[in-house]
Amino acid sequence: MACRIYEDVLEDEVEWDEAARRVEDGENHLSNSSQQRALCECGRPLHRYARLPTYQTFLMCSPSQECTRCEEDILPGDMHFVCTQCSHVHVCKDCGPSVYIHREYDFLDYETGEVQVQEVPKRVIHERRTRSALDAEAPCTRVARQVYSQIQQMAPELALEQDIEHNRWEAGNLLFRLLGVESDVEAAQSVLALIDGCQHVLAAQPTLTEVDVPCKIFGDIHGQLRDVLLLFHSFGMPGSADCPRCVFNGDFVDRGRHQVETVVVLFALKVLFPTQVYLNRGNHEDSTMNEKYGFQKVVLQAFPGEAGFRVYTAFSRCFQYLPFARALAAAARARHGGIGDGKWRLEDVRKVRRPLNHEQLQAPENRILWNILWSDPIEDDSAVSKVFGVHNSARSKIAVRFGWNVTQDFCVRNSLDLVVRSHQSKKWGLGFDVMHNESLVRVFSARDYEGNHNDGAVLQVEGEDESGHLGVRPQVLRSLSSA
């Protein structure tokens, strides 16, 4: 929920003595909105508070508070309002009895001699952080609502059609339909607005986010939008009661037929549901990979001329803000690739500063991040002799392959029971694998990927049952080879 910047600017201040008297006399009636903002829910007056403990001055990963009224983050050291009696109450400046700075200014037009009004430019608003919530009427929000309404229509339509492979799906100008536009110019404007809004949200959220259960985890998609819509129809549309929260675990683009449309859908979901839909970075959310495996090419084809380069540059920049992992119910972690050598802690990821480009990811100090994107587990039931420990990977000089004991040690070090990863398709596979003594699960959502005749899957992560276990249930979209 977004912080509401109240419109009543000229307000009467609440007298603290009068507020205290009302509490003592049992008078909880608040005569106007300014009094409501100035008082705690218990009726006592709110007091300004701004304190940054010494240790937080040095630890950039210091925890934030959550506004009791709007659920927006209050960063350490930010002035806000507290109640001396209710320790759980923290009210941000926008929801408390604070000052409102107009976002318009008056100026004298020398040509007409009249006073005109103009919007305050962003360059003069110096903010410590970007708010994660977006205005309901922002251009990106309008585009996101349009896209969401279309996928709600398209998913059941696809379920009634004869099933075909994603690369044979003839959907006309799917991008125009999703965006509700009729020209390339309109399409570019809409997509740029959506990218800007998504980047706004991603930049405001931490690199490691806690996700409540129940939630679904989607694996690699690679532009196979048809499969994604069928998964939505079969197992729950994001934002609905059947899918209240979901994590998309990277590799949204490259290779598939509808790469642009896929990432437009995912960005729209992130803009509409910033605290319910989570996007993780995969190794293909990277400009070097996009230039080699097709995303750059399809973007330039979808948006002719200079617009194509602008859209591609915006996508590339936004990808650099994607986080690397999610925490699920304090017992599981989702990340795209693997854990590398496993000799690191989740706090190392929490401290990561974004944006990060390809060259920065390859830097020695970011080897953990590179392996989160690129490393693979060694299958413990295979005929491989070197099952234990860490081994070189054919994928890259920096990436590794890790044995089951590395996963077990990593889970113990970080108080985890499960690691969820994606990154690998398996020929004739079910779309998921359970490995390393049930401490690692692989999920891959693009079915029949690159001719592998594999199923596509999502993982439904459920709350603890009576025995105290966190449940993980695969949900599978069958390969057309199985029909």
List the catalytic residue out of 284, 336, 423, 436. Answer: 284
| The pLDDT of residue 59 is above 60 | no
Cis before 274 (ω within 30): no
Range from 117-126, 133-142, 456-465 that averages highest in pLDDT: 456-465
d(CA 469, CA 221): 29
Q: Flag whether pLDDT at 390 surpasses 80.
A: no
Residue 403 tokens read as 């044995």
> Token pair for residue 457?
């899957």
Q: Residue 54 has what pLDDT? A: 44
Give 2's pLDDT tier (boundaries 50, 70, 90): very low
Give the pLDDT mean for 458-462. Answer: 95
Q: Is 284 a catalytic residue?
A: yes
For residue 43, the model assigns a pLDDT of: 81
Q: What is the pLDDT of residue 18?
A: 55
- Mean of the per-residue pLDDT values of the chain: 85
Residue 380 confidence class, pLDDT cut points 50, 70, 90: confident
Quote the pLDDT of residue 60.
39
Pairing of β 208-211 and β 325-328: parallel
Quick one: pLDDT at residue 119? 74
How confident is the model at residue 228, as a pLDDT? 98
Q: What is the pLDDT of residue 246?
A: 97
Q: Would you state the pLDDT for residue 90? A: 86
pLDDT beyond 70 at 50: yes
pLDDT in tens, 227-254: 999 999 999 999 999 999 999 999 999 9
**How far is the C-alpha of 395 from the C-alpha of 220, rounded, in Å?**
17
Is residue 189 within 8 A of residue 138, CB to CB? The reply is: no
Count of beta carbons in the 10 Å neighbourhood of residue 187: 23
Of 4, 129, 6, nearest in space to 75 by CA = 129
Mean pLDDT of 33-57: 69
The structural domains of the chain, with segments of one domain joined by +, span 16-91, 139-482
- Fold classification of 139-482 is Purple Acid Phosphatase; chain A, domain 2 (3.60.21)
Q: DSSP letter at 100? A: -
284-322 b/e (C-beta count within 10 Å ≥ 16 → b): bbbbebbeebbbbbbbeebbeeebbebbbebbbebbbbb
Residue 208: name the closest of 49, 28, 80, 368 by CA. 368
403-430 average pLDDT score: 93
| Percentages (nearest 5) of helix, strand, coil residues in the chain | 35, 20, 45
* Phi/psi-derived region of residue 71, left when phi > 0, alpha when psi is between -120 and 50, beta in every other case: left
Q: Cβ distance 315 to 352 under 8 Å?
A: no
Predicted pLDDT of residue 94: 76
State yes or no: pLDDT of 65 exceeds 90: no
| Average pLDDT of the residues in 149-177 | 95
The per-residue pLDDT for 412 is 94
Residue 246, Cβ density class (10 Å: 0-12 exposed, 13-18 middle, ≥19 buried): buried
Task: Give the residue ranges of DSSP H helices in 130-221.
Answer: 139-160, 174-179, 184-204
Mean pLDDT of all residues in 436-461: 95
With 90 as the cut, is the pLDDT of residue 39 above it? no
Mean pLDDT for 392-416 is 87
CA atoms of 45 and 274, how far apart (whole Å): 32
DSSP string, 196-220: HHHHHHHHHS-SEEEE-SSEEEE-B
> What are the structure tokens assigned to 379, written together?
């299958």
Q: What are phi and psi of 368, to 5 degrees?
A: -60, -45
pTM score, two decimals? Answer: 0.74
Any residues with CB less than 8 A from the CB of 310 and at least 6 apart, and which?
Answer: 188, 192, 303
DSSP 8-state symbol, 66: E
474 or 84, which is more confident: 474
